Amino acid sequence: MINSSPKRRSLSLRAREALHGYGFILIWIVGFALFTFLPLIETFQYSLNQVTVTARGISLNFIQWQNYTRALFTDPNFVELLISYVIETLVSVPIVLIFSLIISLLLNLDFKGKGIFRTIFFLPVVITSGPIIRELTAQGATSAPGIANVPAVAEFLLQLPRSLRNPVEYLLSSFILILWFSGVQILIYLSSLQKVSNSIYEAAAIDGASSWEMFWKITLPSLSGATLVNAIYTVIALSHFSENKVIQYVYAQTYNVQGGIGYASAMAFIYFAVMVLLLGLIFFVLTRGSNKE
């Protein structure tokens, strides 16, 4: 009897801790079910129908998968935008990760005014949404299209294969906007760097390791988890950006006579599926690389 009571107490303690945890996330679960999951089910139902908005309400005409086949095989604009989205995302993610890592390494150094520089690099996160970023984009403040028109750069682009020309041109003309998405990633990298113990670097220095070797053997492997989180966050941030051309096209088709809510819903689900595939690809590449290390 004496030995069984601690087990019962430990089980009851674990149960209480579990209930506390469920209590904290219960509000999120209810909010997700009411404001995300149920609307998703209704939107999927719309994607399988020809939706007509009348004075009496919403009329549904079941057409199975015709909206999906139309988006994938009949609408060239949507397919072209999807391909551009995939290419631009695959180009942007490595640039954001590399830039964030470099800036976080610099901000991790001990110098005066470090907090001011952290604020400067995080400031674009506050303004990259809503009418502010829309106005900046309209005025051309988030891009440098003139770079692609420089004679040397234009000649270099013409020598590239057609499959690489558009990604490189996008990188040259939109690198300012790409770097604007680096604020959160810098903070994640910075917090991960501060968790690495200095004793590891001291031991490596005693063994004769150079700074370059310590970066590749200690710093970079310790940031593998942060790199995965930053890559996933970057894909999601770029995918739901208000100036994303795919999102703008889907929104434009919502109340278009030739489109409609059903067709726009189908395109939205296709876009979501492509984003999930991108996330899966990035997760596979990064986790496979970290496992090899």
Residues 6+ apart with CB under 8 A from 107: 114, 117, 118, 121, 186, 190
Distance (Å, rounded) from C-alpha 287 to C-alpha 137?
35
Q: What is the CATH number of domain 70-292?
A: 1.10.3720.10
Residues 6+ apart with CB under 8 A from 281: none
Contact predicate 176/143, CB 8 Å: yes
What pTM was estimated for this model as a whole?
0.76
Structure confidence at residue 231 (pLDDT): 93
Structure confidence at residue 272 (pLDDT): 93
Structure confidence at residue 55 (pLDDT): 76
pLDDT for 262 beyond 70:
yes
Distance (Å, rounded) from C-alpha 187 to C-alpha 123?
12
Tokens representing 212 are 């370059």
Residues 6+ apart with CB under 8 A from 250: 264, 267, 268, 271
Residues 171-223 pLDDT 10s: 666 666 666 777 888 888 988 888 888 888 888 888 888 888 888 888 888 88
Structure confidence at residue 256 (pLDDT): 78
Local confidence band at 63 (pLDDT 50, 70, 90 cut-offs): confident
User: Which is more confidently placed, 224 or 123?
Assistant: 224
